[in-house]
Structure 1
Amino acid sequence: MSKRDKNRELPPPVPEALPASAVDAHTHLDACGAKTPDEVRAVVDRAQAAGVGRVVTVADDIASAQWAVEASTWDDRVFAAVALHPTRTKDFDDADRRVLEQLVEHPRVVAVGETGLDYYWDFSPPEPQQEAFRWHIDLAKRSGKPLMIHDREAHQDILRILAEEGAPQTVVFHCFSGDAEFARACVDAGYILSFAGTATFRNAKGLREAAQLVPVEQLVVETDAPFLTPHPFRGRPNEPYCVNYTLRNLAQLRGMTLEELVVATTATAERVFRLDQA
């Protein structure tokens, strides 16, 4: 194995701390290998050393939803979001719905997510995905918590279903993947756009244009760890501390100081997820 290949197996270095405390608005601590209280604490300790003081760990199935809620009680810096990922909705049943209805009421759960549509993978046909998405929209409205959307190659159907069902008060497009035109449509609708490491990729011209135009009042940042590690560490293992790299890149892209962007995106995350109330 070459030295370059070995480096790709290593996590990026923990960068110098940010000038203010940031929020990782979407991560998967269990998929990062943090299963126990000590392991979760170690991950968020590394994040805090880089200036990322709070994280939202997100579920993609029922077991991970139950785990995320439990993990959010282990450390005050951890919050949870619960839902069934669209690629897993083929066999979504009433028992699953009852579990999610119970979990979403937990005070440490700050969003219903991630839900939405994924037309890239073929694990679940569009029909059950759309049915589950409509149910999660209703759950967000009933619980009064933000809706966290997974949208992969499904932009127009996402907007159509939100319009048909009536969007919840707060909608967050996790790992926003659209271009400037789609971003404007989402901004005009009042939605929140969350940018991950993909927005730092050199070949992501449309996405980077979108990241430039979103008002900071509608902008949050995330890792989606352990995936989507930001440039220049693309392909290496991701963790919440890597939000630091994304913020630095986006600040330069938007012509803001790093502190301005960190303070603004943290304020947006605090408002959207009501972190001071959880």
Structure 2
Amino acid sequence: MTRRGQWPAPPEALPAPIVDNHCHLEYPAGDEPRSVEDRLEEAARAGVARVVQIGCDLESARWTADAVSRFPQMLGGVALHPNDAAVLAARGEYDDAFAEVAALARGERIRVVGETGLDFFRTGPEGRDAQLAAFRDHIALAKELDLPLQIHDRDAHAEVIEVLLADGAPARTVFHCFSGDAAMARVCAHEGWYLSIAGTVTFKNADPLRAAVAVTPPERLLIETDAPFLTPHPHRGAPNAPAQAALTVREVARILEHDLEQMCTQVWNTSHELYGPW
């Protein structure tokens, strides 16, 4: 077990490369902050050759738009996180912030609108209308720009699905850090949506998530870290980095009883189909 604040040891290298579908490398994290270059190099050695960097407030969206121009192994996504959208709306600052995000989303190496969605864990009823309005704005933006949508869904499964069905989901819709059960996974598969699986699938209490993975077609699965958060077992609680996606893809392959190399190749191909060339 790695202690909290200590960076985990790099995992065993994968037999074929994969993509970390969702990370936040603008966060320094750890007792000894590490550079973006160092984390990307470690990821490449582990077989995590490409990353999708997500900026979900104005500061991190600006950082992301700059970073993707400097790191060829990185593509980006920008949005206003639902919790931030509610705060901005209460201040009367949402419209200007969303306009800037929409402008950044037109960058050539910005390939995702997200993360956006609904979060009823941290935002109470007073902010839900603002979250719903922001979610719909981001859905419309993704469809306008023909970009994938990455969804943040916390304690709001039914409401997220309701909005997607009512408004019409973008052609490429991804549930970032999927946290639903097998029944929800079947709905997503029926609609042609993608499930991005984070290190939570390795946690002891994650049987419902493992059941969801088991009923999902492999071509609808992605792998992510959400770094520096959600570090997989046996390093839970330590800072996360893209290299640790190797542990998550191994667990997904185990659940599906798939050959690891084939699973890696599937994740790689699906990622490139969604986001285009790096």
Q: CA deviation at 1:102?
A: 1.0
Matched, 1:85 2:81: yes
Q: Which of residues 53, 56, 59 in structure 2 aligns to 1:57?
A: 53
Gaps of 5+ in 2: none
The residue aligned with 1:207 is: 209
The residue aligned with 1:22 is: 18
Maintained 8 Å contact 1:32/1:239: no
Structure 1 stretches (4+) deviating beyond 6 angstroms?
A: none
Distance, in Å, in 2 between the alignment partners of 1:129 and 1:101 is 17
Q: Which of residues 30, 34, 39 in structure 1 aligns to 2:35?
A: 39
The residue aligned with 1:227 is: 229
Maintained 8 Å contact 1:32/1:225: no
Instruction: Work out the percentage of aligned pairs sharing the same amino acid.
Output: 42
Paired AA for residue 271 in structure 1 = E
The residue aligned with 1:13 is: 9
Matched, 1:113 2:98: no
* CA distance 1:176–1:257, change in 2 (3 Å): same
SS at match of 2:69: coil
1:219-245 CA distance string (max 9 Å, x none) = 100000111011111111100000001
Maintained 8 Å contact 1:198/1:230: yes
Paired AA for residue 23 in structure 1 = V
Distance, in Å, in 2 between the alignment partners of 1:166 and 1:253 is 31
Distance, in Å, in 2 between the alignment partners of 1:102 and 1:9 is 36
What aligned pairs does 1:188-267 form with structure 2 within 5 A after superposition? 188-267=190-269
Maintained 8 Å contact 1:56/1:78: yes
Query: Root-mean-square deviation (CA), in Å?
Result: 1.6
The residue aligned with 2:100 is: 99
Scaled by the length of structure 2, what TM-score is found? 0.93
Scaled by the length of structure 1, what TM-score is found? 0.93
Distance, in Å, in 2 between the alignment partners of 1:101 and 1:253 is 38
Maintained 8 Å contact 2:220/2:270: yes
Q: CA deviation at 1:9?
A: 2.7
1:100-141 CA distance string (max 9 Å, x none) = 121111011110000000001127711100000000000000
Distance, in Å, in 2 between the alignment partners of 1:40 and 1:102 is 25
Distance, in Å, in 1 between the alignment partners of 2:29 and 2:275 is 25
Maintained 8 Å contact 1:11/1:238: yes
Q: CA deviation at 1:33?
A: 4.6
Distance, in Å, in 2 between the alignment partners of 1:51 and 1:74 is 21
Gaps of 5+ in 1: none
Q: CA deviation at 1:94?
A: 2.0
1:194-242 CA distance string (max 9 Å, x none) = 0000011111111110011111111100000111011111111100000
* CA distance 1:32–1:185, change in 2 (3 Å): farther
Maintained 8 Å contact 1:180/1:210: yes
